[in-house]
Structures are given as structure tokens and as C-alpha cells.
Homo-oligomer: A and B are copies of this chain.
Amino acid sequence: MIAVPQPSIVLVRPQLAQNIGKAARAMLNFGLTDLRLVSPRDGWPNPEAGPAASGADVVLEKARLFESVADAVADCAHVYATTVRKRGVTKPVLPPDEAVAAIHAEPGGSAILFGPERSGLETDDVAVARTILTVPINPEFGSLNLAQAVILVAYEWSKGQNLSQPPATELDPPAPQQELDGMIAQLETMLDGSGYFFPADRMPTVKRTLRTLLTKPGWTSQEVRTLRGVLSTLDRPRGPQRAATSRNASKRSSS
């Protein structure tokens, strides 16, 4: 068996500590140990998680706490958002088996987001992901709880562990999420200064659209650096050409 990096399980704003414990138990049954918590409602650590974990304490002890989804997945190259509904976002939707096949096939770390018990992931959480993971379910009775969603994904992942994987592709892995976030932030600052986000109330939607576009390709770190060079040059033209750009811009404006 070739070691495949484990996907991180990211619980976004979980409500009950008990369910964090149950998710930890579900994970460890299938060998997953990297649990990340984004703003758990009742704080962390929480004494109610332990008993529900039924002995999966090692997962709870290693669990890391984050303030935002972006922070939680900053080092991950692939982010999957688990949802039950399609949300009008133009991203690929995969069932658990195909999602874990993709995780096994692609180089770089992966994170799988699970939303709060009642409401599920918000649109902004889903926007961080490149791919939607949906468990196909009885259309007349969909009632998967958090730990069940986690266990199905963990179970599927464990199946791939027994398969001998072909040697990893020599493509560079996609850049970690934080590098992408840096590039997106740079572009947003430039666009904000250029009056792109108008009217202002559409800004969140427009930003999500841009994020979806820019997270789609899975650019490598080198590619992200190149694009940031492009943006920096557009933001601050170099040397003598600068005057020429302004002239061009005026010419076009007057046409």
C-alpha cells in the first residue's frame, strides 16, 4: 500500500460537542485522524465530546480549532463541501466514492467540509470548495446526521486504502488554499479600487463568482506566483511603458 495523505475532516460551526465526539468515532473506525473544527458553537475543548467518542480520544486530542473555513483549509490543495442540496453553484458534484477516488488520484492535501447539524454549510462556506460532495439519498426521506455523513465518507475513503495506487503523477500539486486566497485578495483589492464592485450590494455575489472561477483550475504554487506577477504589473506598470498605457487607456476611453 502506498501512503496516501488523509483527507482532513472539517466540521464547520458544529452545534453539539457530542456530535464532534461521534464524528471523531466515525473517523477513527476507518483510520481518519485529522479533525479540524471551525468555531464550534459551545467552545472547544468541550467535556461532552469525550464520552460520545467512545474511545476515539486520540482524534479529539489532536483536533485543531480555527476561526474560519479559510484558515482551516489554508494548507489544503483540494476542498470538498458536503451538501445535500444543489445551491446553484457551478461546481462539480460528486458522490462519496467518486470524491474519494479523486482525493486518492490527485496530489496534495484534501479537506472535506461538513456544515452545522441543522442548517448545513452556508453559501460562503461552499464557495471555498472546488467540488461539492453529496451523498445520494432517498429523495423522499433525507435524514443523515453529521456523524453519519462523516462515517460514509470515511468508509469510502478506507476502501481506497487497500487498492494499490498507481505511482503519483509528476504534475505539481495544486497550490494550498492560502496561496490562492492571497491571489484572490490581491485581485479584489485592485478591483475595488477600480470601481468593479458596483452596485456595492452585489459585491458578495460577484466575489463568490470570481472565487469560483479562480479556484476551478487548481493552479500550482508556481502558477499562482505567475498570476500574482501579472496582477502586480497591471496594478503598478513598470518604467517607461506606463505613460504608454495611460495613453492607450485614454485613446480607448475616447473612442
The chain A residues found within 8 Å of chain B, CB to CB, are: 25-26, 28-31, 54-56, 86, 90, 92-95, 97, 134-139, 141-144, 148, 151-152, 155, 158-159, 162-167, 169, 171-172, 187, 190-196, 198, 209-210, 213, 216-220, 223, 226-227, 229-230, 233-242, 244-245, 248-249, 252-253
> Inside 8 A of A210's CB, which chain B residues have their CB?
226, 230
Q: How many copies does the complex hold?
A: 2
Tell whether, in the assembled complex, residue B166 and residue A95 are in contact, meaning their CB atoms are under 8 Å apart. yes
> Inside 8 A of A252's CB, which chain B residues have their CB?
235-236
- Given B159, B194, B209, B227, which contacts A234 in the complex, CB threshold below 8 Å? B194
- Given B55, B169, B171, B218, which contacts A141 in the complex, CB threshold below 8 Å? B55
In the complex, besides A56-B143, A196-B233, 10 extra interface pairs with C-beta distance below 8 angstroms are A26-B148, A29-B138, A97-B159, A136-B164, A137-B164, A138-B164, A193-B237, A195-B242, A196-B234, A235-B249
- Given B30, B143, B195, B216, which contacts A55 in the complex, CB threshold below 8 Å? B143
Tell whether, in the assembled complex, residue A28 and residue B138 are in contact, meaning their CB atoms are under 8 Å apart. yes
Distance in angstroms from A47 CB to nearest chain B CB is 20
CA distance A218 to B217 in the complex (A): 8
> Inside 8 A of A162's CB, which chain B residues have their CB?
136
> Inside 8 A of A28's CB, which chain B residues have their CB?
138, 141, 143
Distance in angstroms from A212 CB to nearest chain B CB is 8
